[in-house]
Amino acid sequence: MTHAIVLYGEPVLETQAAKITEFDTPELHKLVDDMFESMYAAKGVGLAAPQIGIAKRIAVIDLSVAEDPQQKLILINPEIIRREGTQTAEEGCLSIPGFREQVRRAKSVTVCAQNVKGEPFEMTGEDLLARAFAHEIDHLNGRLYITHVSALKRDLIRRKVRKLAKAGEWG
């Protein structure tokens, strides 16, 4: 099932998401499937559960956008355990459509997470994958990428979004 993407302004996007404690359940499998479906429908490369209104610690990533099944990643209860180097590049978010900003992230990010069966694993991503790890794990901590840009730019985005919302053009 495809869910609508929750947009900036909804409190669920700025809430600490809850840990998953039950694994391999039909509900968990369905949630993961729905997240991929919703992400692909929105043509994104990453999606965190709060972005479909569910405050749980799950993120999905697919840098190939459905082209290569090998690139499908499911991160449950992910944590960053190592960061190395820095990179700066333009970043956007499905929950803040129409905006992009330069964001500095680590060049290499190692996460530990669990799979749908609850089995722990570690994975290191470089460049775009490192950026996706950091961006999606931020979501699970109620943090949007605009918290990484200057207060000036963030206020500008906030004002523009408010204007769009007033005009009924935000979501």
**Contact stretch for Ni ion (CB under 5 A) within 59-67, 73-81, 88-96, 147-155:** 88-96
Token digits of residue 71 = 């690139």
**Contact stretch for Ni ion (CB under 5 A) within 8-16, 55-63, 93-101, 121-129:** 93-101
14 has catalytic annotation: no
Q: Which is nearer to Ni ion, 28 or 96 (CB)?
A: 96
Token digits of residue 145 = 């990428």
Question: To the nearest 10°, the Cα dihedral for 104, 105, 107, 109?
Answer: 180
For residues 38-63, one letter each, b for 16 or more C-beta atoms within 10 angstroms of the residue's C-beta and e for the rest, the string is bbeebebbbbbbbbbebbbbbbbbbb
Q: How far is the CB of 25 from Ni ion (least distance, A)?
A: 26
Does 13 bind Ni ion (CB under 5 A)? Our answer is no
Q: How far apart are CA 133 and CA 141, in angstroms?
A: 13
Token digits of residue 115 = 């799979």
Q: How far is the CB of 136 from Ni ion (least distance, A)?
A: 7
| Candidates 10, 101, 136, 169; catalytic one | 136
**Please, which residues bridge with residue 46 across strands?**
61
Does 93 bind Ni ion (CB under 5 A)? Our answer is yes
Q: How far is the CB of 144 from Ni ion (least distance, A)?
A: 7
Q: Which is nearer to Ni ion, 13 or 76 (CB)?
A: 13
Number of residues binding to Ni ion, judged by CB under 5 A: 1
Nearest residue to the partner Ni ion, using Cβ = 93
Q: How far is the CB of 117 from Ni ion (least distance, A)?
A: 26
Residues 6+ apart with CB under 8 A from 55: 12, 15, 16, 17, 18, 49
Active site residues: 136
Q: Which residues form the interface with Ni ion (CB under 5 A)?
A: 93
